[in-house]
A and B are shown apart, each in its own frame.
Chain A
Amino acid sequence: MADHCLLEMRHINKFFPGVKALSDVDFTLREGEIHALMGENGAGKSTLIKVLTGVYQNDGGEITVDGQKITIRSPQDAQNNGISTVYQEITLCPNLSVAENMYIGREESFFVHSKKREKNAQSILDELGIPARGTQILGSCSLAVQQMVAIARAVDMKCKVLILDEPTSSLDDKEVNVLFKLMRDLKARGVGIIFVTHFLEQVYEVCDRITVLRNGELVGEYLTEELPQVQLVAKMIGKDLDELSSFDVIEEKDFKDEDIFYEAKGLSSNEALPFDFTIHKGEVNGFTGLLGSGRSESVRAIFGADKVNGGTVKIKGKSVKINKPIDAMKNGIGYLAEDRKRDGIIADLSVRENIILALQVMKGFFKPISRSEAEAFADEYIKVLNIKTASRETPIGSLSGGNQQKVILARWLLTHPDYLILDEPTRGIDVGTKLEIQKLVLKLAEDGVSVTFISSEIEEMLRTCSRLIVMRDRHVVGELKGADLNEAQVMKTIAGGEAVNEE
């Protein structure tokens, strides 16, 4: 039974203008198995899912369900072929009842028999052990239950393939366990489940097989018990442990306690779990971990970008309160946000206006920076950072990604921060600019500025940071420095210290 293939995807290709999102990817789902689809950002897992659910059309390759070749043109097509998807965001209507949410959109008659519907819904909910009443308004259920109602709907539609796209990211531990129980029940009924998640531990808890994608290509399909966690991480990041050459270790500087610039104890925000963190004057440190491990959330808590819930913060030994970005800025902290387009640039304003923005905010809006001053600042930083722009009055939106990033950097440098947090400053920019930014970070550190540097590329972090804080599943799991600062060690820590390389 375990060998009966429910779904086969062979040689799937998908092109977007200028990008090959999927190239020659195979994927097989067997009856009654839970199959994890893993990969870092941009690996192509969401593209693959979207091809399967009919949101995108594949440009090559074939899909068979139960041995029948099919083409999927729309989400409805997918559903009719027994492929149902439960998305991370709940795609049900919160203002309707649970029963209605299970049946709406697939009625046979024009009139709605709500009593009959509620009865049917209740029997399915009871059968699956979902703690909800059919008559209840969906919005009054917890998120986990809402997700399960979505699954119940899929089950009632006689789905053979169930795709769960990051279902656990907004659930707490208890809710996750209930969801896992439901998944195991469905597995026992022969439903094939594709489970997309970035929580490694959850994969090892429920999944039978793992398929890893990287850069739009298939890395391989593995049985969960045959693939130790550390190997999985290596496959996702794309380095085999054996090939790893050790990098030049950055000379360890001695930092004395009185040099501590920033110290946080038990700092937590709406998004980040409590953590401790210190950084010295002139130190470059990094946060690393897989996507969703909580690295960005942690630095956002330091800057006060999310609502801070607890913890104490000291700057240069003095207790301070940082609840919102302006507090952090007044204490000499700058933060270059992860999403440049959304949280960084203001596309329609000129380079000059974008550069002076942070300084202007710090000075307050009643003490405007004069035009000539602003122009002088802009010219200075365009020169220092080698920003390629037609003039300082060019709208920033028309610059290349790397140059936009430099403008945002200039914005923070202009405030002369003592501590600069750079969240993915090199994402999506060309190699030359990457190197320039790395050099700049090291130079800033020499000048006594503390820097926190976050990057998805571990090499880059090893080159710039003298200390790395490793996070997994929203917890700090290790701190590496000195001789430990090499790629193999970083990966082991990300994957979990216990799982040593077995080879």
Chain B
Amino acid sequence: MNNKKHRREPLTDTQLLMTIAICTFVVMYVLAMIVFKGGFLHVQQIFDMLNDNAPLIIVSCGLTIVMIGGGIDISVGAVTSLVAMSCALYLNKGGNIVISALIAIGIGLAFGLVQGYLISYLEIQPFIITLAGMFLARGLTTILSVNPQKVEHEGFKALMNANQNSIKIPWLGYTAKNGNLIPASLELGVVVALSCVLLIFLLLKFHKLGRGFYAIGGNQTSALMLGINVKLTRFFSYVISGLLSGIAGYVLLMHSGAGNATNAAGMEMNAIASAIIGGTLLTGGVGNVIGTFFGTLILTTINKIVVASPLNAPWWQKITTGGMLCVFILLQSIILSIRSKKKKDSKGKENKEEKA
């Protein structure tokens, strides 16, 4: 009996796929350090990847929740862009910083609430609804302003300055050619993003609602029979995703300092790719935000590598990303199918042993 309790369980599919993602990232980065040297040898390289992609990380967390619940949300990029543009315009009209943050959260929540309601309670296909949401948000952004809106608000400029300069870590820095020490700098947005990752991780692991996401993604009918409020749970997954898009929009504005109709273009696809690379299955029920976080890092590392390599052209980035995604999904399905085969074999063996 004691034996039974102390026996370690084999990795679940979620854990296995996450481990693969982390290993891939480490291997990839180490290879890049060896082959390309240069920037890859500085910690700042990783910090830059985080600084530039904090909004993507936040959005990917929300998408991971939706995908674990067996749904999809492709409106996230457009909502992020709409939030950045709205806040930029509001601030330029002399608005208040606190209220601008509330606007960001409000817009995100509004999209999440409406989309979540339509998908969960009126049972319309999530792809269609969020596609409509995406077009709506993109359209609204363009109506607000066709031209990029640089934020001139003094308070916000101070906030941007704080965002970029408040975290400086000298001992992780490097010495430039002219002999000056350049400390490694991390933006506040990254702190926000990492807090989101941590909070969502805790939610998914320890909260009733988080476990509900896995249950409805694993088998919706069963979840209903087990007494889970399937509609409400699904509704919440879209609300959280909307809320995170709002936060991502504000972080984006802090990073770039301008609202732009082409902001966050294609971010939803990058977010889906991150989640998938991190081990979230499109079929639902399997996934983890830590994996998604590393998925984002893998995606950005690919881009950095392409930039550092002789193939530095925008189309090469897309082509390599596409190729990597294919390889990754193939790898995942091969590993999962080997696992399920092994499971069957070992079960057969157990049966035989018991019979003997």
Contacts and interface: CB of A to CB of B under 8 A. Distances in A.
Interface residues of B, number: 33
Interface in B324-352: 343, 347, 351
Contact of A133 (B9, B225, B355): B9
A90 B222 contact: yes
Interface string B271-298: 0000000000000011000000000000
Contacts of B48: none
B177 interface: no
Nearest to A101: B226
Pick from B219, B226, B286 the residue with the most CB of A within 10 Å: B226
A96 B218 contact: yes
Interface string A101-124: 100111101111010000000100
A28 interface: no
B343 to A, nearest CB: 6
Interface stretch (A136-144, A204-212, A291-299, A343-351): A136-144
B1 interface: yes
Q: How large is the interface on A (under 10, 10 to 19, 20 to 34, 35 or more residues)?
A: 20 to 34
Contacts of A122: 5
A170 interface: no
A136 B10 CA distance: 8
Interface stretch (B76-84, B192-200, B203-211, B234-242): B203-211
Interface in A86-105: 87, 90-96, 100-101, 104-105
B96 interface: no
A296 B244 CA distance: 54
A133 B223 CA distance: 21
B214 interface: yes
Contacts of B217: 95
A416 to B, nearest CB: 44
A170 to B, nearest CB: 15
B214 A93 contact: yes
Contacts of A126: 1
Contacts of B13: 95, 137
Contact of A95 (B207, B218, B221, B225): B218
A104 B226 contact: yes
B227 interface: yes
Contacts, number: 80
B227 A93 contact: no
B215 interface: yes
Interface in B312-330: none
Given A76-B227, A95-B214, A112 B222 contact: no
Contact of B214 (A75, A96, A106, A140): A96
B316 to A, nearest CB: 37
Contacts of A135: 9
Contacts of B12: 95, 137
Nearest to B343: A140
Interface in A148-203: 153, 174
A107 B12 CA distance: 23
Contact of B222 (A91, A111, A133, A174): A91
A101 B226 CA distance: 8
Contacts of A111: 206-208
Pick from B227, B343, B351 the residue with the most CB of A within 10 Å: B227
A323 B235 CA distance: 47
B285 A105 contact: no
A174 B10 CA distance: 26
B100 to A, nearest CB: 32
Nearest to B13: A95
A104 B228 contact: yes
B9 A136 contact: yes
Contacts of B208: 107, 109-112
Nearest to B12: A137
A97 B221 CA distance: 17
22 contacts: A79-B227, A87-B225, A91-B221, A91-B222, A91-B226, A92-B226, A93-B226, A95-B12, A95-B13, A95-B217, A104-B227, A104-B228, A105-B228, A109-B208, A110-B207, A111-B206, A112-B207, A122-B5, A133-B7, A133-B9, A135-B9, A153-B226
The 9 closest A-B pairs by CB, nearest first: A105-B227, A93-B218, A95-B218, A105-B226, A95-B285, A91-B225, A91-B222, A105-B228, A93-B215
Interface of B: 1, 4-5, 7, 9-10, 12-14, 206-209, 211-212, 214-215, 217-219, 221-223, 225-228, 285-286, 343, 347, 351, 355
